[in-house]
Amino acid sequence: MSSQTAEPNPIQWGYSLENVAEIMQPCLEARGTTSLLEIGSFAGELTESLLEWGTPKGVDIATVEPLPPEDLRKVVSRHPELTLIEDTGVGALDSFDGLPDTVIIDGDHNYFTLTQELDKIAELAGENQLPLLMFHDVCWPHERRDTYYAPDRVPESERQPLAEKCTIEPGNPGVSDGGLPFDWAAAREGGPKNGVLTAIEDFMERRGGLRLAVVPVFFGFGVLWETAAPYSDAVAASIAPYDRNPVMQRAEANRVALLVRTHKDAKTIREQNQRIADYEELLGRMLQSSALGLAERISRARQRGNPIFTRQEIGDRLEGKPRQ
């Protein structure tokens, strides 16, 4: 695990494959990885972990990110041995003179994009064996539901019907009232050409001779390899204890439920805070009104000097002063 990794926070999404580095690295060792391409590095948490693992071994590592954030650029500055490719996954693959022996795919999580990347890898491999392939987000929420960083990159005919600025939760195939938020997601879960795992399974059916392991934690880590590859048994033995592990599945279900509940609670708190702000703004305007002063005087007269409210009391409440 990278020395850059912070202590786990159960409220955070756990979006990085860095969270499964201890499972991933033995697979890379079993493959005998010498060259590695990471498609979709985002802030570079996994990238740095891969460098710490691979650089002493002489592994050639390149990472792909179309719009690198500042955190990733800092990783590049710390590691001049890293190649950063500012392109899409397919564009980056086209720039290679021969395929790397291992490819990690964690880019745009939709059927069309992943299918394009897998078909490009198969095209470049030709009659040769495929690289060892690794994936993120092979479990919920991307397993059977497309999401999009930039929908316009995907032809309209290849896009699922879209939901914008939506929230989703397990067990609801549509969009939910609260849950994990996405800028763009398929309006419905399931069906043909929808989701990361669906794209992988369809590729396996077209290609044949492939085996997929699924590690059901942190939204799902997938490992795909050719059963005829000389390293097949070694990779299978490395990943076997985690492949569709039922304890991991239950732990992930609980983790996701916590994430969804946290986001729902946060939404409720934001709504309540907005209502409070609206009330305070209204009361602030009322304090400036002469009509409120008149109402206080009438109340004082009718209640024999003990009015139902006073302007001072309202002002004190707005300033957060305790009730006397």
Q: Whats the size of the chain, residue-wise? A: 324
List pLDDT tens digits, range 216-269: 999 999 999 999 999 999 999 999 999 999 999 999 999 999 888 887 755 655
* CA pair distance 292, 294, nearest whole angstrom: 5
Averaged pLDDT for residues 122-148: 97
Distances (CA, A) of 221 to 8, 108, 195, 251: 18, 15, 14, 14
pLDDT band at 323 (very low <50, low <70, confident <90, very high): low
pLDDT band at 298 (very low <50, low <70, confident <90, very high): confident
Tell me how far the alpha carbon of residue 230 is from its chain's centroid.
33
- Residue 280 pLDDT > 80, yes or no? no
Averaged pLDDT for residues 144-169: 95
List pLDDT tens digits, range 56-80: 999 999 999 999 999 999 999 999 9
Averaged pLDDT for residues 29-54: 96
* CA pair distance 233, 317, nearest whole angstrom: 70
* CA pair distance 16, 3, nearest whole angstrom: 15
Share of the chain above pLDDT 70, in %: 85
CB 51 within 8 A of CB 115: no
Taking alpha carbons only, the member of 124, 125, 166, 174 closest to residue 148 is 166
Does a cis peptide bond (omega within 30 degrees of 0) precede residue 68? no
Distances (CA, A) of 91 to 56, 61, 215, 295: 29, 17, 29, 72
* CA pair distance 13, 190, nearest whole angstrom: 23
User: CB within 8 A of 35, min separation 6: which ones?
Assistant: 59, 60, 61, 100, 101, 102
Q: Can you give the pLDDT at residue 262?
A: 84
Domains of the chain: 17-245 (3.40.50.150)
Share of the chain above pLDDT 90, in %: 71
